[in-house]
């Protein structure tokens, strides 16, 4: 399993998950490390703190579970913690649902 850390400004990177167009562009670009994904619906996200957006290929078996374990300490020690859960998109709208262990 590969975990991708998407970084932009270092402060509010977790909010990048809300930009459906950005995620779609990253998946559509063959030069992108996320170019193998079919789109945002193939991603599982960890939003542990405001400066962390971690992404895995949700199509991989147990990827969301593993991401939860990998990112757990970030949330526990973060000054600006967001959520201990891992999320996936429910559809093209900006709707997320928890996936993986809780």
Sheet holding 96-99, edge to edge: 4-5, 54-57, 43-46, 86-89, 96-99
Q: What confidence tier does 92 reach under pLDDT thresholds 50, 70, 90? A: low
Nearest-5° Cα angle at 45, 12 to 23: 75
Helix (H) or strand (E) holding 44: strand 43-46
**Which has more pLDDT, 32 or 15?**
32
Its pTM stands at 0.76
Question: What are the domain boundaries of the chain?
Answer: 4-91
Q: What confidence tens digit (pLDDT) does each residue in 21-49 have?
A: 778 888 898 898 888 988 888 888 888 77
The DSSP line for 47-101 is --BTT--EEEETTSTTHHHHHHHHHHHHHHH-TTB--SSEEEESSSSS-EEEES-
């Amino acid at each position: 399993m590969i975990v991708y850390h998407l970084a932009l400004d270092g402060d509010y990177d977790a909010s990048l998950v809300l930009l459906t167009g950005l995620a779609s562009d990253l998946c559509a670009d063959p030069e992108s490390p996320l170019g193998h994904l079919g789109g945002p619906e193939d991603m599982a996200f960890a939003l542990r703190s405001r400066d962390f957006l971690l992404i895995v290929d949700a199509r991989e078996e147990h990827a969301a579970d593993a991401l939860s374990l990998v990112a757990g300490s970030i949330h526990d020690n973060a000054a600006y913690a967001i959520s201990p859960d891992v999320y996936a998109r429910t559809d093209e709208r900006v709707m997320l649902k928890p996936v993986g262990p809780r």
